[in-house]
Structure 1
Amino acid sequence: MTVRLRAHHLLCMLTFVGEGYTSAFTANYRRIAERLTEGEQIELVSGPDDICAPLLDEAEPHCVKASVIERDAAALADVASLIGEEIEPGAVLVPDANLLAKLRRNFASGEIRRACNGCEWRDLCSRIAAGNFASVLVGHP
């Protein structure tokens, strides 16, 4: 199986420590974090993904708003530049130790954080990155 992720969630997964929008969202994200830590592949998707699933029943889920789609575009461009290859929806990535370390290093330095501009979780993620990604639930920093 693969975990379906939108591009900006490639960044969010780096700092996930178990906090989220709702208890259902957090429980779902914890299960996804376990799958990613076990090495399950990531399929990039356009629009709502496996992490978004618990929020899609809301009257106006933020997962489909233009600002989130813009966040995806910024993350996709930054990650593609970092790994040195074009990636787009349908691409498959393996969240191994090397990829996670490279993403975390460049996230912490700010190199791949354009997608974080305006995000309500930005300060939390910045603190987690500054703390060397202690207690994250995806992979091992």
Structure 2
Amino acid sequence: MRALRGHHMFCTRLFSGSGYNQAFADNMGRLVENMQKGEKFQLVQGNDDICRYCPNREPEGCALGTEDVQRRDAAAMEVTGTAPGQVLDWAELRERLEKLSEEDFRYVCGDCRWQREGLCSYPLLKERTRP
């Protein structure tokens, strides 16, 4: 079972092959593929299986702003009705994200680097969560 922090629920659904570097993108691709094949994940607080390959990872957080990442995690769990320790699968994640409003998306991802760079958006999330 994979460990996944709150805001990474959004990232896995929106991932398109890009990332901080090739090791990060390869790890993310494998993780998403395994989740799509049925591997479950458990929500965690702090570093997870995606953070493992991030060049900004620090032992206790993120070089880009631990407080910002923690805020995103809490916001993501709030809008999806999830909590640390909860176990989900790909279909359950899709169902939860499918219900989100554009306001919910902005609350979690509004000032995210990847959203600003055009790699993710609310319309793309809606497209990727359709049944």
Pairwise TM-score range, normalised by the shorter structure: 0.7 to 0.9
Native 8 Å contact 1:106 1:112 kept in 2: no
Partner of 2:104: 112
Shift of 1:101: 4.6
Partner of 1:66: 67
What is the CA deviation profile of residues 9-36 of structure 1, one whole-angstrom value per residue up to 9, with x for unaligned ones? 1111111111111111001001101110
Partner of 1:51: 50
Matched-pair identity in % = 35
The unaligned stretches of length 5 or more in structure 1 are 81-86, 134-138
Partner of 1:84: none
Q: Find out whether 1:100 has 2:94 as its counterpart.
A: yes
Q: Secondary structure at the match of 2:127?
A: coil
Shift of 1:110: 1.3
Q: Distance in 2 between matches of 1:74 and 1:61?
A: 17
Q: Distance in 2 between matches of 1:44 and 1:58?
A: 18
Q: Secondary structure at the match of 1:32?
A: helix
The unaligned stretches of length 5 or more in structure 2 are none
Aligned length: 126
RMSD: 2.8
Q: TM-score, normalized by length of structure 1?
A: 0.75
Q: Secondary structure at the match of 1:43?
A: strand
Equivalent AA in structure 1 for residue 12 of structure 2: M
Partner of 2:79: 78
Native 8 Å contact 1:6 1:44 kept in 2: yes
